[in-house]
Structure 1
């Protein structure tokens, strides 16, 4: 898989585009957003048998969100051409999509040798403010973000694994989400257009 490394000029251009899109996006009250999300998580904790089930439900909800927000992203982000590589796609996710939907930029780091795995690192997570996790549990409070990334990338035909590596709520120094490329998906065509 031949990949082209983003230049500092392309990173600057993506940052500028992220800032422009963020400035144009309608905003909701951040406190209301966090309280609503927190209430959703509390309800899931009350309804589910264990934390793993809560984590799975948050991931699933995120996938559903991601499959829907990709259209808004493509319509409002000035992403005129498809990304040429998985690496470029991850740069756009971290620098434009994160800014557009969360108001923060994520640095894309820790690429492996064949450019099939990276991390999105962001010091501030808008979901985490005023939140305390129960001690001793592997609770992935922001797993909904992982799901949204996975759902959005599946809509543009990337099968990926997305997972939480670090979370400031669990005492880490930053927030880090890992993305691993699994395969390219085939676009499904309507039966009338499929070759027999």
Structure 2
């Protein structure tokens, strides 16, 4: 009998991983974001880009750990991938299960709605008139998704579309499939 992504995520979370104190992660991440804001003189576009790059680098390394721990089979479609990302990936690493929805008609775009965001606990954006409209505080998650999915041959674009820290009702990440990366043999290697 085949296990569902939700069952896999719950099983791995309960039994196979060492846990890190969530408050420690939240505070450490907050310090990183605060330092980036300081380093870039509150140029939030640059901070967002840097968080995305950091996340991308994390994602390309995290996928190996994810595949080793989860034991999931190869996804057959982008919809399957979305379910595994939501119910297994987010569960294993953040102990949350975002809702997958808002599929485009061609099934190449969806949103992840985070009912809770452990990275944003205890956070208030700077009250400088710009942060609440320019800073995507948890943008590292977009980079992680991009990096991890690229390592399984899916080139995607990711972006926050809303965030409760900015006064929106929900926190949502849009994920768009750009292309499936084909295996290529380097020139001269036969």
Q: Same fold (TM over 0.5)?
A: yes
Partner of 1:157: 153
Q: Which blocks of at least 5 consecutive residues in structure 2 are unaligned?
A: none
Normalised TM-score (structure 1): 0.88
Q: Deviations over 1:150-179 (max 9, x none)?
A: 000000111110000111111122211100
Q: Distance in 2 between matches of 1:82 and 1:190?
A: 24
Partner of 2:64: 71
Q: Which moved more, 1:166-175 or 1:109-118?
A: 166-175
1:45 has 2:37 as partner: yes
Contact kept, 8 Å, 1:66 with 1:150, in 2: the verdict is: yes
What is the SS of the residue equivalent to 2:120?
coil
Q: Deviations over 1:98-150 (max 9, x none)?
A: 00111000111000111000001111000011101124321011000010000
Partner of 1:5: none
What is the SS of the residue equivalent to 1:127?
helix
Q: Deviations over 1:31-89 (max 9, x none)?
A: 1111111111111111114110000000000000000000000000121x210011111
Partner of 1:60: 53
Q: Deviations over 1:169-195 (max 9, x none)?
A: 111222111000101112344666x34
| Aligned with 2:95 (options 84, 103, 107) | 103
Partner of 2:139: 143
| Aligned pairs for 1:1-196 within 5 A | 13-24=4-15, 25-49=17-41, 50-79=43-72, 81-135=73-127, 136-137=129-130, 138-189=134-185, 194-195=189-190
Q: Which blocks of at least 5 consecutive residues in structure 1 are unaligned?
A: 1-9
Normalised TM-score (structure 2): 0.91
Partner of 1:4: none
